[in-house]
Chains A and B, each alone.
Chain A
Amino acid sequence: MAVKRFTKMAYGSADELIFGRAKNPLSYGFGIQVGAGKVITEINYAPRPGTEKSPETLRREYVDYISKDCLDRAVSIGLPDLQLETEWISQMSESRISAPVVEGQKEITEKYHEEYGINTAVRHTIPDKRDTDHGMRVGMDKVNGGPEMLFESAEIACENGADVFSVESMGGKELADYAITNGDIVAFLFGVGYLGSLDMTYIWPQFVDICKKNNVIPGGDTNCSGANTSMFMAGGFLDNDVQRTFSAITRAIASARTVVAWECGAVGPDKDCGYEGPICKAIGGNPTAQEGKQCHCAHCDIQSNLMASTCDLWSNESVEYHPEFGGSSVQCWLATLGNEVMLMNTSIQLKQDKVLRDLYMYADRIRGPEAYILSYDHAYEIGKAITDNGNDLYLRAKAAGETAANIILEGYKSKELPLTKKQLDVLEDCIKKFEALPDNEDAFVEQCLEKYKDVPMFHPKNYGF
């Protein structure tokens, strides 16, 4: 399928962005409709250590325990819809291990749909185990066959019963790691904004073909390995290994990369953990899964409420399966997700959804620069900067980063958004670095290939150079 870059915003104004409604709604699975006037609950989980020892134990963990527990609790609390998300563990690249899980989850979600009428679906998110040292494109890795394994995993998921397909692709991760640990925003722009976009342009048309062949919804991607890592390390107010002004800008840059999946034919809902959803939805109008307050099972989050303001599926960060006083961990976290979704859907029915959206947004707007740029008005502005430069992968990622940085600076100057001196220093340093960059792709690439040639595990051939 031809790649069609976004050069226009899907929405005419920021005020149109709201939870539960997307320009391009979708129907799939057993009665699930997303972006069609209500928010859907999506739960994400991890199996216990040791359950990966055989296909039988892993299937039992995912299907008989985790999926069943989730579906039981959903019915118990009266949820009308539930989407399960299985983020594959690395062992699942082998068909004998993953296929029984995918088939089993399909069967059990159908069973509950038939027995109780609950609408259900399963998203399968496959791992990207390509090794940059061995090669990231088909035919390059003679040792592990990583690229081939990536597409084989997609086929296993799609042929055995996935309703939605996603991946957290890793293109540019080697530069992202370097950028985050060294505070180098240009390395992030090059790695995630540019190389990550090139890599997604390579892999996503192939995923879309596999999905179409099997009648599976090609959902989307997220920059878990870059933007989420950056946010994870920025942490809460007691952490700050990475400055939050820096991590906010990384998220904006990552958005320019994450929409590439949709440009290659994916239709949403995209993945949530890079927190690019508000910007991507503003650009493409496709449904998005987003996460916030229920991520504390895995990491600190200080945009916990705000992220709900534009979601279509409300999700969590992966929670390990284990017992709690109130049931299993997935049941407890599902209940908090589901009740939040019920509140959102109540507001839609009472026509108070824009009020609730704004309450979510204001609850976190000034809690930090990350939340500030993801407020829907600012997310829209960043999206506009991307589509204004939509045909140029470099300029649009740069525009996203620069726009986010300037939004934060304006917020600080207007005294709306407090910053520490260190956060401000880092912000000003990023702005200075953006301003010093060339205004065309060729010059930027030439400059970066030279500057970052010694970054460990970076091999330009992986990106077609």
Chain B
Amino acid sequence: MLSSKGVDFSKILKRYDVELEVEATPEDMAKNLLPKDPVFRKVAEEVLYMRLKTIIPSVTEALKSKDPLSVINEGLVAGMEIVSKLYAQHVYYLPEIMMAAKTMEMGISLAEKQLEGGKRKTKANVIMHTAEGDVHDIGKNIAVIMTRAAGYEVFDMGKDVPVDDVVAKTVEVKPLFVSGTALMTTTMSAFPRIAAKYVEKKLNVPFMGCGGAVNREYSNSYDLGIYSDKAAQTPLIAEKLLAGYDWKRVREEWDVIVRGE
């Protein structure tokens, strides 16, 4: 093997990941973001630090002095919102998002038992699936977790879902939007077929095309089509749809929306 003695590797490459590392700890960054109320703060911290073992006793304790909806919104969801901010700042990464979401969901399930009707009101229904013929579903699974964590009722239809099943589910649950994920060029062609059926049935539902093989140009090439490049962008786009944006406006303002502005 050639000797690398004396080689200046900085003349060859730059390790931007090391040089630009965020030095702040999650504790530092969360300090000013946590709720002031000590009861909600405790619950939010359980989510923030992914404490799967103590979330249940903490929520149980909080429910003794606070109403369940407040525990959900001002404790559990507030904690998850901080997690999302830390993820955006590259302090937290995907596993932290997944674990925090799991912690939050455990807490929500417990609090919901004390709610009238046994279920909190979510922001809207959303359908997610992996395209017909495609079994690559990891991206969809991440998007499901992130969108649920943002307060939506997500109907996860799984992988290799026939076009007609997606359309039937859309009629049934009247979602805010539907997303499809594809890793192959020849499975993403299911997306315009679904959108065409929506048009035919006069369903004004935005169809979000996502996944490794899919690009913005393709998702914007058919009526109702919108695009999400990464799972974390999906809740940002959902917020705008909830605020009344239609698919055309999402397309026009996409660059700004996905920056979280």
Q: Is the Cβ of B189 less than 8 Å from the Cβ of A49?
A: yes
Q: Is the CB of B243 closer than 8 A to any CB of chain A?
A: no
Measured between beta carbons, the chain B residues less than 8 angstroms from A225 are 136
Among A177, A364, A422, the residue within 8 A (CB) of B138 is A177
Chain A residues with a Cβ closer than 8 Å to the other chain, count: 53
CA distance A286 to B20 in the complex (A): 41
Measured between beta carbons, the chain A residues less than 8 angstroms from B136 are 225
Report A100-156 residues with CB < 8 Å from chain B CB: 129, 131
Q: Is the CB of A69 closer than 8 A to any CB of chain B?
A: no
Q: Is the CB of B99 closer than 8 A to any CB of chain A?
A: yes
Q: Is the Cβ of A320 less than 8 Å from the Cβ of B185?
A: yes
Q: Is the Cβ of B142 less than 8 Å from the Cβ of A181?
A: yes
- Contact flag A419-B18 (CB < 8 Å), given A46-B184, A298-B212, A362-B7: yes
Measured between beta carbons, the chain B residues less than 8 angstroms from A355 are 2
Chain B residues with a Cβ closer than 8 Å to the other chain, count: 38
Tell me the minimal C-beta distance from B103 to chain A in angstroms: 12
Tell me the minimal C-beta distance from B84 to chain A in angstroms: 14
User: Which of A4-12, A239-247, A260-268, A441-449 lies at the interface?
Assistant: A239-247
- Contact flag A52-B186 (CB < 8 Å), given A358-B1, A367-B15, A420-B18: yes
User: Which of B40-48, B88-96, B147-155, B246-254 lies at the interface?
Assistant: B88-96
Q: Is the Cβ of A177 less than 8 Å from the Cβ of B93?
A: no
Q: Is the Cβ of B15 less than 8 Å from the Cβ of A90?
A: no
Report B166-222 residues with CB < 8 Å from chain A CB: 184-189, 212-213, 218
CA distance A364 to B142 in the complex (A): 30
Measured between beta carbons, the chain B residues less than 8 angstroms from A50 are 186, 189
Measured between beta carbons, the chain A residues less than 8 angstroms from B213 are 46, 320
Q: Is the Cβ of A233 less than 8 Å from the Cβ of B94?
A: yes
Q: Is the Cβ of B16 less than 8 Å from the Cβ of A237?
A: yes
Q: Is the Cβ of B218 less than 8 Å from the Cβ of A49?
A: yes
Measured between beta carbons, the chain B residues less than 8 angstroms from A368 are 17
Q: Is the Cβ of A183 less than 8 Å from the Cβ of B1?
A: no
Q: Is the CB of A399 closer than 8 A to any CB of chain B?
A: no
Q: Determine which residue in B17, B20, B98 has the highest number of CB atoms from chain A within 10 A of its CB, and name it.
A: B17
Residue in A closest to B182 when the chains form the complex, CB atoms: A49
CA distance A293 to B59 in the complex (A): 51
Q: Is the Cβ of B98 less than 8 Å from the Cβ of A181?
A: yes
Tell me the minimal C-beta distance from B135 to chain A in angstroms: 6
- Contact flag A90-B133 (CB < 8 Å), given A47-B185, A298-B212: yes
Q: Is the Cβ of B185 less than 8 Å from the Cβ of A242?
A: no
CA distance A242 to B184 in the complex (A): 22
Report B1-27 residues with CB < 8 Å from chain A CB: 1-2, 4, 7, 9, 12-13, 15-18, 20-21, 23
Q: Is the Cβ of A182 less than 8 Å from the Cβ of B185?
A: no
Residue in B closest to A456 when the chains form the complex, CB atoms: B141
Q: Is the Cβ of A49 less than 8 Å from the Cβ of B186?
A: yes
- Contact flag A90-B93 (CB < 8 Å), given A182-B99, A362-B2: no
Q: Is the CB of B134 closer than 8 A to any CB of chain A?
A: yes
CA distance A233 to B141 in the complex (A): 14
Q: Is the Cβ of A243 less than 8 Å from the Cβ of B21?
A: no
- Contact flag A90-B134 (CB < 8 Å), given A181-B94, A241-B94: yes
Q: Is the CB of A339 closer than 8 A to any CB of chain B?
A: no
CA distance A13 to B150 in the complex (A): 54
Tell me the minimal C-beta distance from A306 to chain B in angstroms: 12
CA distance A418 to B18 in the complex (A): 7
In the complex, per-residue mask of B129-143: 1 if CB is within 8 Å of any chain A CB, else 0: 000011111100110
CA distance A181 to B17 in the complex (A): 20
In the complex, per-residue mask of B94-129: 1 if CB is within 8 Å of any chain A CB, else 0: 110011000000000000000000000000000000
Tell me the minimal C-beta distance from A186 to chain B in angstroms: 13
In the complex, per-residue mask of A153-186: 1 if CB is within 8 Å of any chain B CB, else 0: 0000000000000000010000001001111100
In the complex, per-residue mask of A344-371: 1 if CB is within 8 Å of any chain B CB, else 0: 0000000000010011011111111000
Measured between beta carbons, the chain A residues less than 8 angstroms from B189 are 49-50, 52
Measured between beta carbons, the chain B residues less than 8 angstroms from A324 are none
Tell me the minimal C-beta distance from B227 to chain A in angstroms: 15
Q: Is the CB of A377 closer than 8 A to any CB of chain B?
A: yes
- Contact flag A51-B18 (CB < 8 Å), given A177-B141, A181-B95, A242-B93: no
Q: Is the CB of A450 closer than 8 A to any CB of chain B?
A: no
Measured between beta carbons, the chain B residues less than 8 angstroms from A365 are 4
Measured between beta carbons, the chain B residues less than 8 angstroms from A48 are 185
Tell me the minimal C-beta distance from B184 to chain A in angstroms: 6
Q: Is the Cβ of B98 less than 8 Å from the Cβ of A46?
A: no
Q: Is the Cβ of A241 less than 8 Å from the Cβ of B18?
A: no
Q: Is the Cβ of A181 less than 8 Å from the Cβ of B18?
A: no
Q: Is the CB of A1 closer than 8 A to any CB of chain B?
A: no
Residue in B closest to A15 when the chains form the complex, CB atoms: B1
Q: Is the CB of A77 closer than 8 A to any CB of chain B?
A: no
Measured between beta carbons, the chain A residues less than 8 angstroms from B20 are 237
In the complex, per-residue mask of A222-233: 1 if CB is within 8 Å of any chain B CB, else 0: 000100010011
Report A413-443 residues with CB < 8 Å from chain B CB: 418-423
CA distance A183 to B98 in the complex (A): 9
CA distance A138 to B184 in the complex (A): 26
Q: Is the CB of A89 closer than 8 A to any CB of chain B?
A: yes
Measured between beta carbons, the chain B residues less than 8 angstroms from A90 are 133-135, 184, 186-187
Tell me the minimal C-beta distance from B42 to chain A in angstroms: 24
Measured between beta carbons, the chain A residues less than 8 angstroms from B13 are 364, 366-367
Hey, which bits of chain B sit against chain A, CB under 8 A? Answer: 1-2, 4, 7, 9, 12-13, 15-18, 20-21, 23, 90, 93-95, 98-99, 133-138, 141-142, 160, 184-189, 212-213, 218
19 sampled A-B residue pairs with Cβ under 8 A: A46-B186, A50-B189, A52-B186, A89-B184, A89-B185, A91-B133, A129-B160, A131-B160, A181-B95, A184-B95, A237-B20, A240-B17, A355-B2, A358-B2, A366-B13, A367-B15, A419-B18, A421-B21, A422-B21
Hey, which bits of chain A sit against chain B, CB under 8 A? Answer: 14-15, 46-52, 89-91, 129, 131, 170, 177, 180-184, 225, 229, 232-233, 237-238, 240-244, 298-299, 320, 355, 358-359, 361-368, 377, 418-423
Closest 7 CB pairs of A and B: A183-B95, A90-B133, A358-B2, A237-B16, A52-B186, A241-B94, A49-B189
